[in-house]
Amino acid sequence: MPKVDEKPRVYLEEFRVKNAPEDYGMADEKWSLKKFVKKLRIVIVRMDSFEMEFDLIGIQPAFANAFRRLMLSEVPSMAIEKVMIKNNTSIIQDEVLAHRLGLIPLKADPRLFEYRPEDATEGTEFNTLEFSLKVKCSTNKNQPKDSFRTDDLYENHSVYSSQIKWHPISNQATVHKEQDIGPVHGDILISKMRPGHELDLHLVAVKGIGKDHAKFSPVATASYRLLPEVTITRDVHGDEAILLQSCFAPGVIGLDSEGKAYVREARYDMCSRNVYRYDEIKDAVILSRIRDHFIFNVESVGAMPPNIIFIEAVKILRDKCKSILDELNKFN
Amino acid sequence: MGEINKKQNDWDSSKGLREPIKALEDKWKLVPSFLEVKGLVKQHIDSFNYFINVEIKKIVQANEKVFCESDPLFYIKYLNAYVGTPDLEEGFNVSKRTTPHECRLRDMTYSAPITVDIEYIRGNQRVIKNKQLIGRMPLMLRSSNCVLTNKSDYELAQLNECPHDPGGYFIIRGQEKVILIQEQLSRNRMIVDEFKGAIQCQVTSSTHEKKTRTNVIVKNGKYVLRHNALSDDIPIAVAFKAMGICSDQEIMQLVGTDDTIVKKMAPCIMDCHNLKIFTQNQALAYVGSKLKVKRFQTGNAKARTPIDEARDLFATIILAHVTVENYNFYVKAIYLAIMVKRVIEAENNKAAIDDPDYYGNKRLELAGSLLALMFEDLFKRFNWELKSIADKIIPKVKAAPFDIVKHMRPGLIANGLFAAISSGNWTIKRFKMERHGVTQVLSRLSYISALGMMTRVNSQFEKTRKVSGPRSLQPSQWGMLCPSDTPEGEGCGLVKNLALMTHITTECSEEPIARLACNAGVEDVRLLGGEEINHPAVYMVFLNGNILGVSRQYKRLIKVFRMFRRRGLISAFVSIYPNHNQRTVYICSDGGRLCRPYIIVEKGYPLVQQFHINDLNRGIRKFQDFLNDGLIEYLDVNEENDSHIATREADIDPYVTTHLEIEPFTILGVCAGLVPYPHHNQSPRNTYQCAMGKQAMGTIGYNQKNRIDTLMYNLVYPQCPMVKSRTIELINFDKLPAGQNATVAVMSYSGYDIEDALILNRASIDRGYGRCLVYKSAKTTMKRYSNQTSDRILGPSRDAATGKVIRAHEILDIDGIAAPGEMVENRQVLINKQMPPATLNPVTQGQPQQIDYKDVPITYKGPVESYIEKVMVSSNSEDAFLIKILLRQTRVPEIGDKFSSRHGQKGVTGLIVQQEDMPFNDRGICPDMIMNPHGFPSRMTVGKTIELLAGKAGLMEGKFHYGTAFGGSKVRDVCAELEKHGYNYHGKDIFYSGLTGEPLEAYIYSGPVYYQKLKHMVQDKMHARARGPRAVLTRQPTEGRSRDGGLRLGEMERDCLIGYGASMLLMERLMLASDAFSADICDACGRLASRAWCHACRSSAAVSSIEMPYACKLLFQELASMNIVPKLTLKKYC
């Protein structure tokens, strides 16, 4: 056994995941803000406008999970909710078309909008975005001879998300810039058409949350994993070391100049536990994960940068706590 | 087995010395190449092509002359017959070419005219008339005369037809009908079987005219001939004498002169002596006396003596398929003698009894031969009708000469054929044959269900009989019929499906084969005596059940025949095989035999070599070339059993093996071919999948959006399975899929997953998983009536007060038909049709009469609204307006919808869970579906676990894995791929609970599995009722969901309540909630009174009112009407 430090662990055994024997779960710990503040650490590992990886260290899984859940289902975003079909002569069915349009991620920042009241018949500039999609497919008048490529034969044979046009309501044009509103990706294929097919749609986007429908989720996915830890318990040399190295993701196990295996960076391990397939080196490692070290991975759909999404999630949790406290305080 | 000289020398190790035969690479490519020309539905098409191009001419020729009794000079002679190209008659002899899709949409029949060239007498002249229409022939799609044959995909698309549609069915009045393959015992063959302990030899003879059954049976230790036309059994010796074999010695020589045979035959010969029958005439007189008395004797038949009748009986009815020329019965006598001999052999040796379930003794009847029977019957009736018209009209004196052509009604043959196909009732008068359910409506639930239906084989065997023999898997089914694909329940083992490479032969002409046989040393039996025929050195040769002759060198005969067949000098489907026990050689060229191609192995090496396959890959060699070059040949079941077939190259034994299997997975059929790794599954699971694959929704064809079916299920986003099989590619299932790859986690979740229930991910559903489209159609016709009135459609009605369109008519267009794109709710009108009253006098001219039209609207029914996809207005074959409306619903999976994997593992949705509550793994993957692991141990569907692994590895590699039967990607390779990509070798990952956020204690087996959405959905089944309609007669609640019926408290439920003693509850359920009725009873007489007045007592003094079920009151009244008086005695209750 390695020396027991204060880090809580789960052990990845061959056939099951086991908590450390002395670990009774962090829920039992008495909450102390001081201790928590001392332990809590956030390290941003990687971030761009769509994806972020960061470590949340020293926190209970309940919190980490709450943030994950909130990002998935309660951080709002804008999505097309209503499609008025004025004309649809394409082969795609009205409902399916509407469903596809709904899933197109929009750039519009949900923080700048309000929820639309359920009983509202008309949207206002503060809660609604209106778009239109008007495409008509026709035969290409000056098509090159002997070409059978659809691109040459027809015009507008494929409808892409870039063809969605924003129609600002009253003051919206001054508040928002056009490039900040429309679809995140312009190359999403909505429908294919042939001459004679026509789409004339009026689209209404509103603010909503992922709990309602997955299209309102601001993330493609948000999830975490626990930090892996690999401990080598005995010396592993030569062929065994190479075998050991091959059992882990690249970069996890290093070989020193003498061909002895050492743990270089356990973070990269995929926890495939393939060591257990080899009886000869099975006993040489202990696989475990740190229970309060969460490696978050947030993939934004594009409306908000991932760090903002996380902060929004934290805010929602804060507001929820506040509201429950308010409710409880009523009885005091 | 005597055939094979196993050279088992001491150094059997020679096998080891040989260079091992390399397995041919890409040998499976022969299968698609085969499927281009044969297999799947081609047998239907081949058979139908044979019928319309060859057999119909033969039938017309066989019935070519029609005479009439009133004019000896009059005749009609058919010179030739043709089936034309499909068209529609538009009246006034104008016809228009048509396409199958037009017929489907317009409820027409896809048919072609049958025309004949005739020569007949008009007045005194001989007239030849060409192209005379005599009827119409329903056309099989993709048959030689169909517009779809030899069309490119582009041309098919222009005809609104799916290029993957197999064809092989008919379109009758807009309905797609399949003539199922019928399985029956082969005709004209001797079958020795044991019937109630007695051995009998049975021959069902079938010729164009007759179908009779002749038996030789053992009765009191003697052999007798039994036949339906005879009232009593005839001693066999008498039969021989009746056929002109008068001397006892000759009879014995024909049957055989072995001691055992002589001993057995002696009593029969004695019998004949006891009856004092010595000459042919005496025998015939005896037989004549046993004839069944015919009821209706025609005029000229009266003159015939019983002897003549008996002679005719032997000539044409008994063993009808053995032809008799000039009353020379010799060949027939030999045939009868062989029958007797077979019985004797079977008595001595039970092994000689034939197995009627053996597939060599079976013939499959296809659309062509069934239609031929029907057509011949109708054609005969047509001719008979012509004859009776001629009989009637010719004697009359007329101005114009009698022209028979004017009396030819094409309707008889056309309607006869249409009615037979559309009803499935095959009534053949001359055979006294009546069969039901020959045709079925082509199931278009999914592409697989349509394809599966085309390969279905129906057995003639009664479904209710409880015998296991015909139902159990026969070893001779190997490779011919799918071992997995059979329904559960009453049709189990009786309804079968063809395997992938099976072909069913069509008949080919016998004469060249007979001639070839004679040249190969077969001697005519007519020149030989009994002693020579039964000589031990001699093998008797049969051609299609008829005696052809005897051969002294049967081995050479067989060798020559096979050589000729491999050289292509005789048809590839002629089979020849010896039977050493019977010392016979059978040659078969008849239709309906199951056969299958095999690679020929010579001297231990398969003739197909790698360069042949390479040529095939390059496209410079086709399947036919393999046949032509004698590398591959077709073997039917009988010949297959005379061959030694190696499954793999490694199994070839150089001294024994004669053939090599092309690909082992072809023993499975179309439906079983979809299952990945079926060889790892418990066999019933594959059978279940075969049944469920037909209920899976997905795509039914590229033309599905152009179809207006009464019911059609489509998946919005169908996917090709991650784990394919060769069969899937061969039948284009990957292009017309029915299912989606769901990421499945095998774990327990929440308890809503017990009993095979599935947990679905809400986000997956939101993103389109399992979303399906349901199309239903409504249709109506606008009829025109004889009294000059017709149906009409009115525009939407308006409310008199507000001037608004009434709610029921909200969706109607101005023309009174619902507008496309509108949403229809329950009870809204789709077509506002009105009908004139039925009894209306003809409208008098000039005075437009006010007609009181009756509303007969077509309304929409259903708890969930639909959208109108499209409206079609056309006309049908009766020139009436035809309006079809296609309605659409998009359905999202909900709790209770049924899903199934491809391993017979069905389950309903038990719970739909938000994505955040679902477990997730290290990579953030959240499963689409959670399946309970309890589904595995008892089902033993190991194939499913492998599918999951292979699918997961395929995702990583970006390729499809193959789960082909008896092959496919190996688990070891698949797992190695997973490991390469950093996954656990066993496919188990760490998952975190979505609820607590902590890692789950167990590793979770997860990956993609192909799931099918089955057609059973809650929305179509949900039903509840508090109150509602009641049946008129009994006043009890109606039955069934469609009638908004009540939920029955059945007998067993009633028993429970009785046992429990809940009498008041019972009373409420059975009477108050059902048909409570307050009846008046007269205390005095105990009878029912009416309105507090007893009619019997003529008083109201003692009438009291009680509650009773209305059904009870009804019973009393019905009894009273039968002169039974039920009386009630009433007592004070408390």
Per DSSP, chain B holds a count of helices (H) and strands (E) of 30, 55
Listed in sequence order, the DSSP H helices in B913-970 are 942-957
pLDDT tops 90 at residue B110: yes
Mean pLDDT in residue range B519-547: 87
Can you give the pLDDT at residue B532?
A: 84
pLDDT at B842 over 70: no
> Of A93, A213, A224, A300, which to mutate for an interface test with B (greatest number of B Cβ within 10 Å)?
A93
Q: Kindly list the domain boundaries of chain B, sorted by start residue.
A: 41-181+364-445, 190-320, 672-771+894-1013, 773-800+811-837+853-890
The secondary structure of chain A in percent helix, strand, coil, rounded to multiples of 5, reads 30, 30, 40
Contacts of B724 (CB under 8 A, 6+ apart): B676, B734, B960, B961, B962, B963
**CA proximity to B146, closest of B53, B54, B58, B33:** B53
Q: Which residues pair with B778 in a beta bridge?
A: B885
CB-CB: which of B771, B914, B997 is closest to A65?
B997
Q: Which of A269, A270, A317 should one mutate to test binding to chain B, selecting the residue with the greatest count of B CBs within 10 A?
A: A270
User: Which of B651, B127, B627 has its CA nearest to residue B406?
Assistant: B127
Nearest CA in chain B to A297: B924
Residue B970 CA from chain centroid, whole number: 37
B41-181+364-445: what fold?
Rna Polymerase Beta Subunit; Chain: C,domain 2 (3.90.1100)
* A84 close contact with B: CB closer than 8 A: no
pLDDT band at residue B10 under the 50/70/90 scheme: very low
Domain B773-800+811-837+853-890 is of which CATH architecture? Beta Barrel (2.40)
Provide the CA A49 distance to its chain's centre, in angstroms.
12
**Cβ contacts of A191 on chain B, cutoff 8 Å:** none
Residue contact A226–B999, C-beta within 8 A? yes
The C-alpha atoms of residue B91 and residue B88 are separated, in whole angstroms, by 9
Interval B151-203: pLDDT, tens: 999 999 999 999 999 999 999 999 999 999 998 888 888 888 887 778 889 89
- Region B548-571: mean pLDDT is 90
Contacts of residue B435, Cβ cutoff 8 Å, sequence gap at least 6:
B182, B425, B426, B427, B460
pLDDT band with cut points at 50, 70 and 90 for residue B68: confident
B112-134 mean pLDDT: 88
Q: Could you read off the pLDDT of B1071-1119 as tens digits, one per residue?
A: 999 999 998 888 888 888 888 888 888 888 888 888 999 999 999 999 9
B617: helix, strand or coil: helix
* Residue B768: closest C-alpha in chain A: A99
Does A293 contact B at CB distance below 8 Å?
Answer: no
Please give the residue that has the higher pLDDT: either B398 or A240.
A240
Contacts of A272 in chain B (CB under 8 A): 979, 982-985
- Give the Cα separation of B161 and B154 in Å (integer): 10
CATH 2.170.120.12 domain extents, chain A: 78-216
Is the pLDDT at B208 greater than 50, yes or no? yes
CA distances from B982 to B953, B958, B977 (A): 11, 15, 9
What gap in Å lies between CA B725 and CA B730, rounded to an integer? Answer: 9
Query: CA of A61, closest CA in chain B: separation in Å?
Result: 6
Alpha helices (H) along B51-122:
56-62, 100-106
Look up residue B146 and give its amino acid: C
State the amino acid at position B112 in one-letter form.
A
Nearest CA in chain A to B821: A94
Mention the CATH class of domain A78-216.
mainly beta
Burial tier of B1020 (Cβ tally within 10 Å: 0-12, 13-18, 19+): middle
Q: What value of ipTM does the predicted structure carry?
A: 0.94
Residue B547 to residue A183: CA distance in whole angstroms? 82
Residue of A nearest to B999 (CA): A17
CA pair distance B689, B727, nearest whole angstrom: 15
Among A69, A99, A217, select the one facing B768 at the smallest CB separation: A99
Contact A17 B1001 (CB under 8 A): yes
The architecture (CATH level 2) of B190-320 comes to Alpha-Beta Complex (3.90)
Please state, in angstroms and rounded to a whole number, the distance separating the CA atoms of residues B994 and B749. 11
- pLDDT tens-digit series, residues A125-180: 899 999 999 999 999 888 788 888 888 889 899 999 999 999 998 888 888 888 88
Residues 250-269 of A with CB under 8 A from B: none
Pairing of strands B362-365, B234-235: unpaired
Chain segment B1006-1045, per-residue pLDDT in tens: 999 999 999 999 999 999 998 899 999 999 999 999 898 9
Q: Is the pLDDT of residue B8 over 70?
A: no
The CATH number given to A15-74+221-297 is 3.30.1360.10
Q: Which residues of B touch A (CB under 8 A)?
A: 705, 716, 762-763, 766-768, 771, 773, 821, 867, 869, 888, 890, 914-916, 920, 922-924, 926, 979, 982-985, 990, 992, 994-1003
Query: What is the pLDDT, as a whole number, of residue B462?
Result: 65
Runs of H (alpha helix) within B256-296 = 259-274, 280-289
Q: How far is A238 from chain B (nearest CA, A)?
A: 21
What is the distance in angstroms between the Cα of A235 and the nearest Cα belonging to chain B? 24
Q: What does the mean pLDDT of chain B come to?
A: 88
Task: Determine the Cα–Cα distance for residues B623 and B35; give it in Å rounded to an integer.
Answer: 9
Residue in B with minimal Cα distance to A226 = B922
Averaged pLDDT for residues B34-54: 89
Chain B partners within 8 Å of A66 (Cβ):
997
pLDDT in tens, B736-764: 999 999 999 999 998 999 999 999 999 99
What is the structure's pLDDT at A39? 86
The identity of residue B988, as a single letter, is: K
Sort out which chain B residues have CB atoms less than 8 A from A73's CB and list them: 914-916
| Of B869, B924, B985, Cβ closest to residue A223 | B924
Q: How much of chain B, in percent, has pLDDT values that exceed 70?
A: 96
Q: Which of B529, B530, B528, B554 is nearest to B541 (CA)?
A: B554
| Per-residue pLDDT, A23 | 66
Provide, as residue numbers in chain B, all residues whose Cβ is less than 8 Å from the Cβ of A299: 924
- The answer to whether residues A38 and A49 touch, using CB atoms and an 8 Å cutoff, is no
> Average of pLDDT values for B957-981?
92
Domain ranges in chain A with CATH number 3.30.1360.10? 15-74+221-297
Sequence-ordered list of residues with C-beta below 8 angstroms from that of A200, at least 6 positions apart, any chain:
A85, A86, A87, A88, A132, A133, A134
Q: Give me the pLDDT at residue A2, please.
A: 43
For B325, list phi and psi in degrees, rounded to 5.
Answer: -110, 135
Quote the pLDDT of residue B109: 92
**In chain A, positions 129-188, which contact chain B (CB-CB < 8 Å)?**
none
Q: Which of B922, B979, B985 best probes binding to A when mutated, by most A CB atoms within 10 angstroms? A: B922
Instruction: Assess whether B756 carries a catalytic annotation.
Output: yes
The answer to whether the Cα torsion of B678, B679, B684, B690 is positive or negative is: positive
pLDDT tens by residue, B881-919: 999 999 999 999 999 999 999 999 999 999 999 999 999
Residues B121-146: what's their mean pLDDT? 89
DSSP single-letter state for residue B130:
E
Q: Using one digit for the tens of pLDDT, what is the confidence trace for A269-303?
A: 888 899 999 998 888 899 999 988 999 999 999 88
Hey, CA dihedral for B492, B497, B500, B501, is it positive or negative? positive
Residue B244 — very low, low, confident or very high, per pLDDT cuts 50/70/90? confident
Q: Do A61 and B821 touch (CB under 8 A)?
A: no
| 185-244 of A, contacting B, C-beta below 8 A | 210-211, 213-215, 217, 221-226
CB of B904 closer than 8 Å to CB of B941 = yes
- Structure confidence at residue B296 (pLDDT): 56
In sequence order, what DSSP letters do the residues of B325-372 get, joined into one string? BTTB-HHHHHHHHHHHHHHHHHHH-GGGS--TTSGGGEEEE-HHHHHH
- Cα gap B199→B30, rounded to integer Å: 46
Helix (H, G, I), strand (E, B) or coil at B553: coil
> Which residue of B771, B867, B983 is in closest CB contact with A272?
B983
Q: Which of B590, B554, B556 is nearest to B574 (CA)?
A: B590
What confidence tens digit (pLDDT) does each residue in B331-368 have? 888 888 888 888 888 888 888 888 888 888 889 999 99
As a whole number of angstroms, the distance between CA A102 and CA A122 comes to: 19
| A61 close to B (CB below 8 A) | yes
**Amino acid making up residue B155:** E
In this structure, chain A runs to a length of 332
Of B914, B985, B997, the CB nearest to A61: B997
Which pLDDT value is given to residue B4? Answer: 46
pLDDT value at residue B801: 87
What is the phi/psi pair of residue B891, to 5°?
Answer: -120, 140
Please, which pLDDT band fits residue A1 given cuts at 50, 70 and 90?
very low
Most confident by average pLDDT, A250-264, B61-75, B240-254: A250-264
Q: Which of A103, A243, A271 to mutate to test the interface with B (most CBs of B within 10 A)?
A: A271
Q: Which of A238-247, B120-129, B612-621, B631-640 has the lowest mean pLDDT?
A: B120-129
* Subunit contact B994:A69, Cβ cutoff 8 A: yes
Which of A25-29, B66-70, B76-80, B247-251 has the highest mean predicted lDDT (pLDDT)?
Answer: B76-80
Q: Which tokens belong to B963?
A: 């789960």
**From the CA of B927, how many Å to the nearest CA of chain A?**
12
Inspect the interface and report whether the beta carbons of B916 and A68 lie closer than 8 Å. yes
Among B768, B821, B920, select the one facing A94 at the smallest CB separation.
Answer: B821
The CATH code belonging to domain B672-771+894-1013 is 2.40.270.10
pLDDT band at B302 (very low <50, low <70, confident <90, very high): low
Looking at chain B, which residue has its C-alpha nearest residue A71? B916
Q: DSSP class of residue B316?
A: I
> What tens digit of pLDDT does each residue of B783-832 get?
888 877 888 898 898 888 888 889 899 999 999 999 998 999 998 999 99
Pick the catalytic residue from B391, B756, B1020, B1080: B756
